[in-house]
Amino acid sequence: MKLKIAALLLVYIAITHEIPAQVQWGIKAGGNLSAMLLKDETGYTKVKLRPGFHLGGTADLALSDKFSLQPALLFTSKGFTIDKDGGAQYLYGVDKIKFTSYYIELPVNFIFKPKVGNGKMLLGAGPYIAYGLGGRWKAEANGMSVKGKLKFLNDFSSTDSSWGGNNRTVPYTKPFDFGANILIGYEFSKNLYIHFNAQLGLLDVDMSYDGVSDETSSLKTVQGGFSIGYRF
């Protein structure tokens, strides 16, 4: 709860606090490699990275010549893959399964921008909050494939008759996520920049089952990627 409150306060400050400085609006897009840290009483499940993307709008609130606050509102895809080596047959009864999930994400990074060459280096860190919108899955077994949709849930009810049968929508994780970013990059001019980032989810997004949480397991998101941005 304290983490959620801290994240909301940072978002409020980033959006509503009146800073006597220039604000530049912009856009950015890029690619991701993401996974899920799946842990149970036996340890971590072996998963593979899943490629994805992100795109959205940004703001740069200059605090001084070398410091700025950079919130962004992004549409981003994440996910992971489990194959035979990761126990796909044991966990899901298939040879391989791929998960792709979609989020609305709000990172808020504090940026240090020392001058390097003709531009500026970007060194930043900060929190993010994200909310899951949905997704898709694809499984392979015996040379055949089947696919369906993902649904974010806080709690899975065993009495819900909408699951099973020909319904290929399956429960995924809790929709709300919170974590931390770090980034490093380069600003070529006041308008164009590129950066690489890493992201770690700090919340256990494993849903509960019939109102009971499994204390022996946890699910946390992890991601790395690059972005190209342009400010107007």
Instruction: Tell me if 99 sits within 8 A of 45, measured CB to CB.
Output: no
Instruction: Tell me if 232 sits within 8 A of 25, measured CB to CB.
Output: yes
Q: In the prediction, which pLDDT does 223 show? A: 97
Q: In the prediction, which pLDDT does 6 show? A: 52
Average pLDDT over residues 93-114: 95
β-strand partners of 135: 101, 150
Does the pLDDT of residue 19 top 50, yes or no? Answer: no
Which tens digit of pLDDT belongs to each residue from 53-72? 999 999 999 999 999 999 99
Cα distance between residue 149 and residue 167, in whole Å: 9
Which tens digit of pLDDT belongs to each residue from 176-209? 999 999 999 999 987 899 999 999 999 999 999 9
Does the pLDDT of residue 121 top 90, yes or no? Answer: yes
